[in-house]
Amino acid sequence: MKKVSLLAALVAFGSASALGQGIFQPSYNQTTSFNGAPGALEQTSMNLTYDGRNYWSASGGGSNGNRLAQWDGSGNHIASYQPGIDMRSVFTVGGSAAPVYCRGYSSPTIMRQTSPGVFTSHVTLSGGTLDGQSQVEFNSDGSEFVAHVNGQISRWNLSGAFLGNVSLSGYGTMFSEGNYPQYRGIVCAGGYYLTYSNGNLSAWDASGTRVGNTVLTGAGTSFDSHFSLSWANGMIWIIDIANGTWRGYRIPELLGGFLISLSGPCPGQKTLSWSGAGAGQMGIVIGNSLGAFNIPSGPCQGTQLGIQGNLMLYNIIGTQGGQGQVSANVGNAACGKYIQCIKTDDCSTSNAAGPI
């Protein structure tokens, strides 16, 4: 790969963040936030969903009082409701389209919202490991219901029939994720199962293999935070404390972001492979280390990269329709550095790969 120029808009950045792995960058900064309106809901905050127009958040700890809140698309509180359900999750297909569904404490019945704050029985889940506290959600494409407890995911079809379990290999070995209440949380996006614990988001594939983990910078770590894991409006959401600040994180890898990998010795013949990029052009960026860097200006201003330190732009090349590879002889000067690709048309980014 021939170096063609310095990426003029990029500058040296500070110390590296905690290292991520797999499909993710090491960390992600929040994209947006809104005030959870103190007093809007009773007791313990649960999660958040989006119906294409409004956000909806829930609370648990009892069935009396305000257990459902409605927010507009900018996060302004509209109203609170008393549905009479001790909620453990509210959810929509893909976190993006009406209607809104919910699951109550220790109930196998999924409820569907028919008007604001009014829910009727939709389907009953039979079989599987449905813990009383488990968060029930749709899978990524809305074809299944899923629930999680302590590394075991149960799956049901849309008629409520049990489809089987997926065991998350190694769950409980990182971030105190096996503790209550985080061990009952689950959301799905990008084809992955996603869990959260103490500021750390993990992704698991369909076989239960952990394929990535990352830090959500500034995300809450309170009791309520660990109940609040959400996928809504194309973002991961975590609340700070009960009725506190909701923080939303847009993660490209969960929204069709593309993947890269490296193979071969360094120094020597090195191959960069990519998939899922879509047709177009992409720039190949090299940096000294993993980290978090926001492009400060130019066409991709505000895009967060997962590498940092003396960033250099190498060849801008075609994506070969979204999947391809390129090889080059790499010298000692590049060994130990990291690489990331960025699409020039929509500023979508790959994962960070390396060391070279």
263 and 234 inside one domain: no
Q: What is the structure's pLDDT at 6?
A: 31
313 and 225 inside one domain: no
271 and 243 inside one domain: no
Residue where one domain finishes, among candidates 249, 283, 302: 249
* Residue appearing with tokens 């105190």: 176
Per-residue pLDDT of the chain (356 residues; tens, 9 = 90+): 333 333 333 322 222 333 346 788 888 889 899 998 888 999 999 999 999 999 999 999 999 999 999 999 999 999 999 999 999 999 999 999 999 999 999 999 999 999 999 999 999 999 988 999 999 999 999 999 999 999 999 999 999 999 999 999 999 999 999 999 999 999 999 899 999 999 999 999 999 999 999 999 999 999 999 999 999 999 999 999 999 999 999 887 888 667 788 889 999 999 998 887 888 999 999 999 877 788 888 888 888 887 888 888 878 899 898 888 999 898 999 999 989 899 988 888 887 787 89
pTM over 0.85: no
Residue where one domain finishes, among candidates 231, 249, 267: 249
Q: Cβ(36)–Cβ(243) under 8 Å?
A: yes
CATH number, residue 281: 2.60.40
Helical H runs in the chain? 223-227
Domain that includes residue 58, residue range: 32-249
133 and 214 inside one domain: yes
Give the chain's domain count: 2
127 and 221 inside one domain: yes
Answer yes or no: is 353 within a domain: no
DSSP string, 200-236: EEEEE-TTS-EEEEEEETT---SHHHHH--EEETTEE
Residue where one domain finishes, among candidates 197, 222, 249: 249
267: left (phi over 0), alpha (psi -120 to 50) or beta: beta
Q: What is the structure's pLDDT at 257?
A: 64
User: To the nearest 10°, the Cα dihedral for 331, 25, 208, 148?
Assistant: 170
Q: What is the structure's pLDDT at 142?
A: 95
CATH number, residue 171: 2.110.10
